[in-house]
């Protein structure tokens, strides 16, 4: 399985912090946001990662991360491999995934939105993945801010609505998606939404139609660091977590 991180967003909600840098390079406690996404993928056993970003910030990523020098594979004990792709226009999350077709090749993939931080270890879900797709869900109080999943008793997703005004459930679809190799074909022929973007929900709904999209509920904390408050909450949580570990 290969890893893909979408890291091209301009982060307009975080201006002026993002006037001179990418939102995924902002600090959450003692590390840039993107470090947490890379850690999630490496902890899941993924050794090859593609970072999709914009032309304004590609050099910043290369300077910070290089080819992956700071991250060691749990499989080989050697450095992982990080490569890059440039999204010249902000055409949406689905377009990030479409840009990764050549990188995915014949493999499955774990697609991570770079401004999301996950405390769960995803490796058990990677190890038990048998095809189709998985999305990771979290019950929230403000589901209208997210893609919202309707799910049956066996864990199959019945529908996903993007930022609905009247959500059917409180189950937010977080920024972590696991796909089999059929995603390569599913990204072909997609159309832009009313927002002028290629939506990841459109890809997910193709799996819904097949009956192969599974929902998995996260057990630990999840942060979408796209706002000032969420950046602060994530920093405080991680600081407290590290301090509690240091005291043991």
Interaxial angle between packed helices 58-65 and 33-43, expressed in degrees from 0 to 180 and rounded to the nearest 10: 60
Burial of 124 (0-12, 13-18, 19+ CB in 10 A): exposed
Q: Under 8 Å CB-to-CB from 169, ≥6 apart: which residues?
A: 143, 148, 149, 150, 151
Residue 84, pLDDT score: 98
The reply to whether 18 and 73 lie within a common domain is yes
Whether 88 is covered by a domain: the verdict is: yes
* Per-residue pLDDT tens over the stretch 187-234: 998 998 888 889 999 999 999 999 999 999 999 999 999 999 999 999
Residue 2, pLDDT score: 98
Binning the chain into helix, strand and coil, the percentages to the nearest 5 are: 30, 25, 40
The reply to whether 113 and 230 lie within a common domain is yes
Residue 196, pLDDT score: 85
Residue 5, pLDDT score: 98
The reply to whether 112 and 19 lie within a common domain is yes
Residue 194, pLDDT score: 85
Residue 77, pLDDT score: 94
Residue 50, pLDDT score: 99
Mean of pLDDT values over 11-24 = 89
Instruction: Report the C-alpha gap between 175 and 226 in whole angstroms.
Output: 12
The reply to whether 15 and 102 lie within a common domain is yes
Whether 198 is covered by a domain: the verdict is: no
Containing domain of residue 115, as a range? 1-119+221-248
Mean of pLDDT values over 70-79 = 95
The reply to whether 209 and 246 lie within a common domain is no
Smallest CA-to-CA distance from 52 within 116, 106, 104, 99 is with 99
Q: What six digits make up the tokens of 32?
A: 């840039």
* Torsion sign over Cα 130, 119, 162, 50: negative
Whether 163 is covered by a domain: the verdict is: yes
The reply to whether 31 and 98 lie within a common domain is yes
Our count of domains for the chain comes to 2
3-state secondary structure of 91: coil
Smallest CA-to-CA distance from 103 within 145, 52, 64 is with 52
* Torsion sign over Cα 231, 234, 238, 241: positive
Whether 165 is covered by a domain: the verdict is: yes
CATH, residue 59:
3.90.550.10
Whether 191 is covered by a domain: the verdict is: no
* Interior/surface letters 69-86, b for 16+ CB within 10 angstroms, e for the rest: eebebeeeeeebebeebe
Residue 248, pLDDT score: 67
9 CB neighbour count, 10 Å cutoff: 22
Q: What six digits make up the tokens of 184?
A: 């390569």
Whether 100 is covered by a domain: the verdict is: yes
* Per-residue pLDDT tens over the stretch 99-149: 999 999 999 999 999 999 999 999 999 999 999 999 999 999 999 989 999
The reply to whether 112 and 226 lie within a common domain is yes
* Per-residue pLDDT tens over the stretch 84-99: 999 999 899 999 999 9
pLDDT exceeding 70 applies to what percent of the chain?
Answer: 100
**Overall size of the chain counted in residues:** 248
Whether 127 is covered by a domain: the verdict is: no
Instruction: Report the C-alpha gap between 231 and 31 in whole angstroms.
Output: 12
The reply to whether 214 and 165 lie within a common domain is yes
* Per-residue pLDDT tens over the stretch 34-67: 999 999 999 999 999 999 999 999 999 999 999 9
Whether 195 is covered by a domain: the verdict is: no
Q: Which residue has the higher pLDDT, 145 or 78?
A: 78
Residue 221, pLDDT score: 97
What is this structure's pTM?
A: 0.95
The reply to whether 143 and 83 lie within a common domain is no
Residue 181, pLDDT score: 98
The reply to whether 114 and 10 lie within a common domain is yes
Q: Which residue has the higher pLDDT, 168 or 12?
A: 168
Instruction: Report the C-alpha gap between 215 and 173 in whole angstroms.
Output: 9
The reply to whether 37 and 74 lie within a common domain is yes
The reply to whether 154 and 212 lie within a common domain is yes
């Amino acid at each position: 399985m290969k890893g893909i991180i979408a890291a091209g967003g301009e982060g307009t909600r975080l201006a002026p912090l993002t006037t001179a840098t990418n939102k995924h390079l902002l600090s959450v406690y003692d590390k840039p946001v993107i470090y947490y996404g890379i850690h999630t993928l490496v902890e899941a056993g993924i050794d090859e990662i593609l970072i999709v970003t914009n032309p304004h910030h590609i050099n910043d990523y290369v300077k910070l991360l290089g080819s992956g020098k700071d991250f060691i594979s749990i499989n080989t004990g050697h450095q992982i491999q990080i490569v890059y792709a440039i999204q010249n226009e902000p055409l949406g999350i689905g377009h990030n995934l479409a840009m990764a077709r050549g990188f995915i090749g014949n493999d499955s993939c774990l697609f991570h939105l770079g401004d999301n931080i996950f405390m769960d270890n995803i490796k058990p879900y990677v190890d038990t993945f048998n095809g189709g797709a998985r999305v990771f869900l979290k019950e929230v109080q403000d589901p209208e801010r997210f893609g919202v999943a309707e799910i049956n008793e066996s864990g199959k997703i019945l529908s996903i609505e993007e930022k609905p005004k009247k959500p059917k459930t409180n189950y937010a679809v977080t920024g972590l998606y696991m796909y089999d190799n059929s995603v390569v074909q599913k990204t072909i022929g997609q159309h832009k939404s009313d927002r002028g973007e290629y939506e990841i929900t459109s890809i997910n709904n193709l799996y819904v139609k097949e009956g192969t999209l599974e929902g998995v509920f996260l057990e630990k904390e999840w942060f979408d660091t796209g706002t000032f408050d969420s950046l602060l909450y994530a920093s405080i949580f991680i600081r407290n977590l590290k301090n509690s570990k240091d005291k043991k």
